[in-house]
Chains A and B, each alone.
Chain A
Amino acid sequence: MSAWRASIVPRWMFIGEWRAHPVRILTAVVAIAVGVALGFAVHLVNASALDRFVRGLATVNGGADLRIEAAGPGGFSEQLYPRVSRLPGIASASPVIVLRARIDGREIDLLGLDALRVASATPRLLPRPTTAGGAMAVLDPRSVFLSPAALAERHVGETASLVVDGRPQVFTIAGTLPGVSDRALGAIDIASAQDRFGRLGRIDRIDLRLATGADPDKLRAAIASILPADAVIASPTDDGNRADALSRAYRVNLEMLALVALLTGSFLVYSAQSLSITRRRSHFALLRVMGASRRMVLGQLMAEGLILGFVGSAIGVAGGAALAFGVLRLIGGDLGSGTFATGGTPPLQFDGFAALGFAVLGIVAALIGSLLPARDAVRVMPAVALKNSGDAIDPRRRPSVAMALLLAFVGAGFAFLPAVGGIALFGYGAVGLLLAAGIAAMPWLARTLLAPLARRSFASPVVTLAIDRLWGAPSQAAVALSGTVASVGLMIAMAVMVTSFRVSVDEWLGQILSADLYITADNGTPFDPAAQMRLRAVPEVARILFGTQHPMKLVADRPSLTLVVRDSAAEALPKLGRAAAARPGTLGVQISEPAARLYGLSPGSKLTLPLGARSIRATVTSVYRDYARQEGAVMIDAGQYLSLTGDAARGEAAVDLVPGADAAATMSALRRALPRAISDEVQILPTRALKARALAIFDRSFAITYGLELVAILVGLAGVAATSSAQTIARTREFGMLRHLGVTRRQIVAMLGVEGALLGLIGATRAWCWDAASRRS
C-alpha cells in the first residue's frame, strides 16, 4: 500500500480522468458543495440567532450569577427578598419586577429595579441619568430609562406613555441603559412599578451576585430550602438550555432537511463514480494485470471520492458561510419557527467545529457514494474485463433483493427506537436506510416490473430494444435514477407529511375556533372585570367566554409551558384518549399533548402547579390536542383560577353572536365598549381571519422546508441529466452497431425516450413505496 501511495499512478489516473471528463467531476463536486453549503448555512443562521437570543436573555437578566424567578403569573412575595439576601455566600441581591410594555406601539421589556442594589448585583442594568436629571432621577417614580434600541426615535427629556396590561402610565425619559446594547429594554424604579402597575407586595425576580469563593451548589440548596412554591432558581446555564430547548427540534429538523441535498449529492457521486468506473473498467483491469493489487485499485477509487468530497466540502463550507451571512442580513435569524423573530440582524457567529463537522459530512457522503462502485470495480476479474473492455453485463444474473430487504428491515427497526436527547436520530437513520433500501431494490424492481413486458413481443423495434436493454441491465436503472429517486422520494414524503399536518391543523382550528369572533390583546391582560361586563353588555353578543394565558415554569432549565385560563374550560376541546376524575383534594386540569409527552404525564397523573403563591396539587383529567403551543400547556377553569389567585383580569375572549347579528357592526360595537386606553391595543377578528392567520404562520414555518426540498430536487435532476448523458456516451459502440444494422437516428432517440419513460415509471413506483414506508418512520 505504501508503494501505491508513493507511486504517481493514482495522481495520473485522477488527473487524466479530470482532464477527460471535467464536467462530470464538477457536477459531483457541486452536488457535494450544495449539500454542505445548505446544511452549514442553516446551522449558522440558527446558531447565530440562538446566540443572539441567549445574549439578549443575558442582557435582560443582567448577568447575575443566580436568579430566583417567579414560577407562575403574579410573581412571588417580596418577603422572600430579605431572607435570600441574608444567606451566607450572597454578595448582593437585587429585586426586580418584570413587565412587558408597549411604547409608541412597540413592545419592550420593562424592568422595575432597585437602583441601590442593581449597581452591585447586575451593573449591566444600571441606568445612567442625564446631567439635567441628576443622579436622583433613578429614584424618581416618574423616570424611565431606555436602552438605545427602546429609545428609537425618542430623546431623553421627552415624556412617553408606557402601557402595561392595558394600563397606560406616563413617564419622563430620564436617561439611558448604556449596558444594554441589543435589546429594547426599559427600567423604572421598582417601587414605581409596584405602585403604578398593581404589583404591590409582589416581585418577579431576585438577581444574585455570589461572594468570591461561594459554592453555587450549596447556595442553591440553601435557597431551595426557603423557596416558596411560586418561585424557582435559575442560572445563565439554565437560560441557555431553555433557549436551546425552545427551538431545538425545529432547528435540528431544518438542518436535517438541509442535509437532504447532501444525501442527494451522495447519490449523485455514486452515479458519477459508477459510470466513471464502468468506462474505465479496462484501465483498472490493465493496472491489475500489471501488478496493482485489489487494495491499490480500491484505494485509488476511494481517494478519488475523497478528493471530490474534500473539494466539494471546502467550497460548501465557504459557500454556506456566505449564504448564512446573506440570509441573516436579508431575512434575519428566524427561519420559520418564530422563536427568534425579535427583529434586527444577528451577527454571524462562525463556528469552526461546525464547519469541520459539515466538511467531514461532505467527505463521508462522497466516500459512501464511491464505495459501492469501487468495490464492484475490484471484484471484476481483470482478464475478463480486459477482453470485454466495456459493459460487463450478465443478463442471466437475477438481481438480488437481499441487501434491500436487510436495509429495509434495519430501517424499520430504527423507526421504532426512541428519541435521543429529544432528537429523532434513529428516525433520521430510518429514513436514510429506507432510502438506501429503495435504491438497492431498484434493479430487482426494474427486472420485476419489466418481466411481463420482456416476455411480450412488440411491433415497434424501438420499444423492444428499450425493454430488452433495461431488462438485461437493471442495475443501470439504479445508477441512472438514484439521485433523482432520493430527492423526489424525500420531497414526496415531505410534501405528504406537511400536507397531512396542515389538514390536521386546519381541522383542529375548526374544532377550537368555534365562536363567531375573537378578541385578543396585543399585550397582557387588559380586560378587567369592568371591561368584561361592558363587552358582555353589547346587545349583539349572545355569549362571551373570557380567558388568559400565562407562562408557567415547572422546571428551571426547560422553556415555560403555558397556563391557559378559560371560562368553561371543559367545553369543545379535541380530547385524546381516556379521561380521568380528579383525585379528592386536588385541582382537575387538562394538559396539552406536547405537555403530556414532555413531562411524561397522562390522565390520572399528579402534578404540582405554582398558583397564587401556593403549590397547588393537581390531577390531569384529560389530554387535549394542541398544535399552537409546542412547549406544552395546562388548562384550568377560569372560576377555579380566580378563587386560587384572585386574578380577574383576562387577555382574550371568544364571542358568539345572536342569530342574525352583523359581524362587522358587532366588532365596531365591541371596540366602542372597550376603554379608550386599551381600544387600540386589542384585535377583534372573525373566526375566518384568525384561522387564516394561524395557517399563514404554519405555511411560513414550512416555507424554508419547501425551499430546501426544491434545492434537493434540483440537485437530483442535475444528477439525472449528468448520468443519463454519460450512459448515452458510454453506449456509443452499441448505437454504432445498431446504426450498422439499419436503425435510424430517430429510432435510437425514440429508444432512449422509451428507456427514460420506463425508468421514470420504475423510479416513481419505488418512490411511492418508499413514501408509504418512511411516513411511518
Chain B
Amino acid sequence: MASPPLLAITDLRKTVPTDRLLFEDVSLQLERGELVAIMGESGVGKSTLLNIVAGLERADSGTVTLDGTDLALLDEDGRAALRRRQIGFVFQAFHILPHLTLGQNVALPLALLRTSPAEASARARDLLTSVGLPGRSDDYPNQLSGGELQRVAIARAIAHRPTLILADEPTGNLDPETAVRVLGLLIAQMRDAKAGAVLVTHSEVAAASADRILRLTSTGLVPA
C-alpha cells in the first residue's frame, strides 16, 4: 500500500480582500524527498499559496494536509506548532536576525522547540560547516555576503529536521553563479533530510533543478 503524500493540496480557492479571485482549483501532491518548483506571473499568488500551505493564511475553500494533518482543523496556535515542528522556510530577503550570531540564527528553530542550548549550538555548528561556513558560529550577519547569508538561512531551515521546506524566491537576491551554488546546497540538504520542498521562483534556471515544474494560474496549477 502506497504511503500517503507528504503534502496534499486539494481544490484550493483564494480571493483577495477586494473580492478579486486570485486562484482556484489548485491541487498538488508532494512526496517526501521531492522538489516541486512553482512558477507564474507576478501577482498570481505564488507567495500566497506558500503562506496557505504554511498555515499563515487561510484559503476560501479546499484542503491542505501536511503529513496527514488537515490544517483547517487546527487553530492558530495549532498551526504555529505545526510550523515549529515540521516546516522550514527560506526567504528571498534571507531574514537573518542582525543582532544574533550566525549560530544563534541557525539554532532559532531548535530554541523554539525547547531543545537544550548545548544540543542546539552543536547542531548549528555542524550545519554551518555543512553549508560551507565552518567555525563561524560566533560571527554576526553583517560580516557575511548575500550568498553566505542565504546559506545560513538554508541551515536554519533544516536545523529542526522539518518534513517540508518552503522556499520563496531563495535565489532572487543572488547573482547567477551564487544562485546555482545556493540552490544546489538547498537541494542537497533537502534530500539529506528526506524532506519535501516547494520552491517558488521566477528563475527558469532555478526551476530546472526541480523534480517537477508547475505553473500557477488563476485556474490552477498546471505543468510548465
Contact with A along B101-132 (1 / 0, CB 8 A): 00010001101111001001000000000000
Do the beta carbons of A16 and B114 come within 8 Å of each other?
Answer: no
A-contacting 9-mer, from B27-35, B83-91, B205-213: B83-91
Bound Cα distance A295, B95 (Å):
22
- Min distance, Cβ B122 to any Cβ of chain A, angstroms: 14
Interface magnitude class on chain B = 20 to 34
Is B51 an interface position by the 8 A CB rule? yes
B-contacting 9-mer, from A1-9, A93-101, A397-405: A1-9
Interface centre among A3, A12, A17, by most chain B C-beta atoms within 10 angstroms, is A12
Bound Cα distance A287, B80 (Å):
10
Do the beta carbons of A386 and B84 come within 8 Å of each other?
Answer: no
Is A19 an interface position by the 8 A CB rule? yes
Taking CB atoms, residues of chain A closer than 8 Å to B99 are 16-17, 19-20
Do the beta carbons of B76 and A290 come within 8 Å of each other?
Answer: no
Bound Cα distance A19, B100 (Å):
10
User: Within the complex, which residue of B56, B57, B100, B109 is in contact with A12, where a contact is CB–CB below 8 Å?
Assistant: B100
Is B81 an interface position by the 8 A CB rule? yes
Is B180 an interface position by the 8 A CB rule? no
Bound Cα distance A6, B110 (Å):
12
Taking CB atoms, residues of chain B closer than 8 Å to A16 are 97, 99-100
Which B residue's beta carbon lies closest to that of A289? B89
Taking CB atoms, residues of chain A closer than 8 Å to B80 are 288, 291-293
- Min distance, Cβ A10 to any Cβ of chain B, angstroms: 9
Taking CB atoms, residues of chain A closer than 8 Å to B97 are 16, 283, 286
User: Within the complex, which residue of A6, A12, A17, A286 is in contact with B95, where a contact is CB–CB below 8 Å?
Assistant: A286
Q: Knowing A291-B85, A293-B80 touch, does A20 contact B98 (C-beta < 8 A)?
A: yes
Do the beta carbons of B100 and A3 come within 8 Å of each other?
Answer: no
Interface centre among A3, A17, A291, A294, by most chain B C-beta atoms within 10 angstroms, is A291
Do the beta carbons of A383 and B114 come within 8 Å of each other?
Answer: no
Is B177 an interface position by the 8 A CB rule? no
Which A residue's beta carbon lies closest to that of B50? A383
Which B residue's beta carbon lies closest to that of A15? B99
Bound Cα distance A16, B98 (Å):
8
| Residues 151-207 of B at the A interface (beta carbon under 8 Å) | none
Taking CB atoms, residues of chain B closer than 8 Å to A293 are 76-77, 80-81
Bound Cα distance A20, B141 (Å):
13
Interface centre among A16, A20, A287, by most chain B C-beta atoms within 10 angstroms, is A16
User: Within the complex, which residue of B51, B77, B81, B109 is in contact with A383, where a contact is CB–CB below 8 Å?
Assistant: B51
Taking CB atoms, residues of chain B closer than 8 Å to A20 are 98-99
Contact with B along A1-44 (1 / 0, CB 8 A): 00100111100100011011000000000000000000000000
- Min distance, Cβ A743 to any Cβ of chain B, angstroms: 26
| Residues 64-89 of B at the A interface (beta carbon under 8 Å) | 76-77, 80-85, 87, 89
Do the beta carbons of A9 and B89 come within 8 Å of each other?
Answer: no
Do the beta carbons of A383 and B111 come within 8 Å of each other?
Answer: no
Bound Cα distance A436, B91 (Å):
40
Bound Cα distance A286, B87 (Å):
13
Bound Cα distance A648, B93 (Å):
95
Bound Cα distance A293, B89 (Å):
16
Do the beta carbons of B93 and A291 come within 8 Å of each other?
Answer: no
Q: Knowing A3-B114, A16-B100 touch, does A389 contact B77 (C-beta < 8 A)?
A: no
- Min distance, Cβ A198 to any Cβ of chain B, angstroms: 83
Bound Cα distance A386, B99 (Å):
17
Is B54 an interface position by the 8 A CB rule? yes
Which A residue's beta carbon lies closest to that of B117? A8
| Residues 5-61 of B at the A interface (beta carbon under 8 Å) | 47, 51, 54, 56-57
| Residues 367-390 of A at the B interface (beta carbon under 8 Å) | 381-383, 386-387, 389
Bound Cα distance A16, B103 (Å):
13
Bound Cα distance A97, B159 (Å):
88
Do the beta carbons of A382 and B56 come within 8 Å of each other?
Answer: yes
Which B residue's beta carbon lies closest to that of A295? B77
- Min distance, Cβ A545 to any Cβ of chain B, angstroms: 78
Do the beta carbons of A386 and B112 come within 8 Å of each other?
Answer: no
Interface majority SS (helix, strand, loop, mixed), chain A: helix
Is A176 an interface position by the 8 A CB rule? no
Taking CB atoms, residues of chain B closer than 8 Å to A292 are 80, 84, 112
Taking CB atoms, residues of chain B closer than 8 Å to A7 are 111-112, 114
Which A residue's beta carbon lies closest to that of B52? A383
Is A85 an interface position by the 8 A CB rule? no
Do the beta carbons of A12 and B104 come within 8 Å of each other?
Answer: yes
Which A residue's beta carbon lies closest to that of B99? A16
Do the beta carbons of B100 and A291 come within 8 Å of each other?
Answer: no
Do the beta carbons of A291 and B112 come within 8 Å of each other?
Answer: yes
Is A282 an interface position by the 8 A CB rule? yes
Do the beta carbons of B104 and A290 come within 8 Å of each other?
Answer: no
Taking CB atoms, residues of chain B closer than 8 Å to A282 are 95
Taking CB atoms, residues of chain B closer than 8 Å to A9 are 108, 111-112
Bound Cα distance A381, B111 (Å):
22
Do the beta carbons of A290 and B109 come within 8 Å of each other?
Answer: yes
Taking CB atoms, residues of chain B closer than 8 Å to A389 are 93
Do the beta carbons of A289 and B114 come within 8 Å of each other?
Answer: no
Taking CB atoms, residues of chain B closer than 8 Å to A289 are 54, 56, 83, 89
Taking CB atoms, residues of chain B closer than 8 Å to A382 are 56
- Min distance, Cβ A63 to any Cβ of chain B, angstroms: 63
- Min distance, Cβ A332 to any Cβ of chain B, angstroms: 50
Taking CB atoms, residues of chain A closer than 8 Å to B76 are 293-294
Do the beta carbons of B114 and A6 come within 8 Å of each other?
Answer: yes
Taking CB atoms, residues of chain A closer than 8 Å to B51 are 383
Contact with B along A269-289 (1 / 0, CB 8 A): 000000000000011001111
Bound Cα distance A119, B209 (Å):
106
Which B residue's beta carbon lies closest to that of A286? B95
Do the beta carbons of B93 and A383 come within 8 Å of each other?
Answer: no
Bound Cα distance A289, B90 (Å):
11
Do the beta carbons of A290 and B84 come within 8 Å of each other?
Answer: yes
- Min distance, Cβ A261 to any Cβ of chain B, angstroms: 31
Q: Knowing A289-B56, A289-B89, A291-B81 touch, does A386 contact B95 (C-beta < 8 A)?
A: yes
Bound Cα distance A19, B117 (Å):
20
- Min distance, Cβ B44 to any Cβ of chain A, angstroms: 16
Which B residue's beta carbon lies closest to that of A294? B76
Bound Cα distance A7, B89 (Å):
20
Bound Cα distance A238, B120 (Å):
66
Q: Knowing A16-B97, A19-B99, A383-B57 touch, does A290 contact B114 (C-beta < 8 A)?
A: no
- Min distance, Cβ A742 to any Cβ of chain B, angstroms: 27
Bound Cα distance A303, B174 (Å):
38
Bound Cα distance A16, B100 (Å):
6
- Min distance, Cβ A465 to any Cβ of chain B, angstroms: 27
Taking CB atoms, residues of chain A closer than 8 Å to B84 are 290-292
Bound Cα distance A747, B57 (Å):
42
- Min distance, Cβ A375 to any Cβ of chain B, angstroms: 16
Taking CB atoms, residues of chain B closer than 8 Å to A288 are 56, 80
Bound Cα distance A464, B200 (Å):
41
Do the beta carbons of A12 and B111 come within 8 Å of each other?
Answer: yes
Which A residue's beta carbon lies closest to that of B51? A383
Which B residue's beta carbon lies closest to that of A2? B114
Which A residue's beta carbon lies closest to that of B77? A293
- Min distance, Cβ B172 to any Cβ of chain A, angstroms: 12
Bound Cα distance A287, B113 (Å):
12
Bound Cα distance A286, B100 (Å):
13
Provide 15 A-B residue pairs closer than 8 Å at the C-beta atoms, listed in order of the A residue: A7-B114, A8-B111, A8-B117, A12-B111, A286-B95, A286-B97, A290-B83, A290-B112, A291-B81, A292-B80, A292-B84, A293-B76, A381-B57, A382-B56, A386-B91
Beyond A291-B109, A294-B76, A383-B57, 11 extra complex contacts between A and B, CB < 8 Å: A8-B120, A12-B100, A16-B97, A283-B97, A287-B108, A291-B80, A291-B112, A295-B77, A381-B57, A386-B93, A389-B93
Interface pairs A-B: 10 shortest CB-CB: A291-B84, A16-B99, A291-B83, A293-B80, A383-B51, A20-B99, A9-B111, A383-B56, A3-B114, A291-B80
Interface residues in chain A, defined as those with a beta carbon under 8 Å from any beta carbon in chain B? 3, 6-9, 12, 16-17, 19-20, 282-283, 286-295, 381-383, 386-387, 389
Interface residues in chain B, defined as those with a beta carbon under 8 Å from any beta carbon in chain A? 47, 51, 54, 56-57, 76-77, 80-85, 87, 89, 91, 93, 95, 97-100, 104, 108-109, 111-114, 117, 120
